[in-house]
Amino acid sequence: MDQNQEKEKVLIARNNETGQIGAVTGQNPDGTPQMADVKSAKLSDLVKFTKGQNPVEAFVSNFLRQAKNPSVFGFFSVNADDFGTVGQGLGALLESPEKNKEMLAPFKVEASEVSQSQSQSQHKYQAIDGNSIDWAAFKENWGVDREQLEKSGDLDKMLNYGKSGLVKIQPTLAGEKMELDARLSLRKDTNGMVKLVPHFIHLEPNLEKEYRGHQFTAEDKAQLLNTGNLGRIVELNGKDGKKIPSYVSLDRLTNEIVSLPVDKLHIRGNIGKTVLTKEEIETLKSGLPLINKEVSLREGKTFTTTLQVNADSRCVEFVPKAWQKHNMVEKQQQPQGQRQQSSQQNSWTDAEGNIRPIGKWKENRFTEQQKADYVAGKTVVLENAVDAKGQPCTLYLKFDPAKQRPIASTKNPDLAQTVAPSNESATQMAVNNDGRTNEATKNVKEPLQQGQTAPKNDSQQKQQRKPKGPIV
DSSP conformation letters of 436-468: ---GGGTT--SPPPTT--S--SHHHHHHHHS-S
Q: Are residues 313 and 339 in the same domain?
A: no
Instruction: Tell me if 97 is assigned to some domain.
Output: yes
Q: Are residues 335 and 370 in the same domain?
A: no
Domain boundary among 69, 89, 124: 124
Q: Structural domain tally of the chain?
A: 5
Q: Are residues 313 and 327 in the same domain?
A: no
Domain that holds residue 169: 130-200
Instruction: Tell me if 327 is assigned to some domain.
Output: yes
Q: Are residues 336 and 361 in the same domain?
A: no
Give the mean pLDDT per block of 10 residues along the chain (472 residues): 55 86 80 83 77 50 54 78 80 86 79 48 66 89 90 89 89 77 87 87 90 93 89 90 92 92 88 89 91 85 89 89 40 43 52 78 84 88 77 84 79 58 50 56 63 64 58 38
Domain boundary among 94, 124, 154: 124
Instruction: Tell me if 208 is assigned to some domain.
Output: no
Instruction: Tell me if 216 is assigned to some domain.
Output: no
Report how far residue 291's alpha carbon sits from residue 307's, in angstroms, rounded to the nearest whole number. Answer: 7
C-alpha torsion 345→318→261→222, nearest 10 = 20
Contact 392, 450 (CB under 8 A): yes
Report how far residue 104's alpha carbon sits from residue 11's, in angstroms, rounded to the nearest whole number. Answer: 13
Q: Are residues 115 and 183 in the same domain?
A: no
Beta bridge partners of 381: 396
Instruction: Tell me if 2 is assigned to some domain.
Output: no
List Cα–Cα distances, 104 to 72, 174, 218, 306, in angstroms. Answer: 17, 71, 62, 46
Report how far residue 287's alpha carbon sits from residue 247's, in angstroms, rounded to the nearest whole number. Answer: 7
Domain boundary among 63, 90, 124: 124
- DSSP string covering 218-271: HHHHHHHHHHSB--S-EEEE-TTS-EEEEEEEE-TTT--EEEEEGGG----SEE
Instruction: Tell me if 459 is assigned to some domain.
Output: yes
Q: Are residues 138 and 194 in the same domain?
A: yes
Collect all residues with Cβ–Cβ distance below 8 Å to 392 and sequence separation of at least 6.
384, 385, 386, 449, 450
Q: Are residues 333 and 313 in the same domain?
A: no
What's the pLDDT tens digit per position in 345-403? 455 776 667 788 888 887 788 888 888 888 888 889 988 887 666 778 888 888 887 66
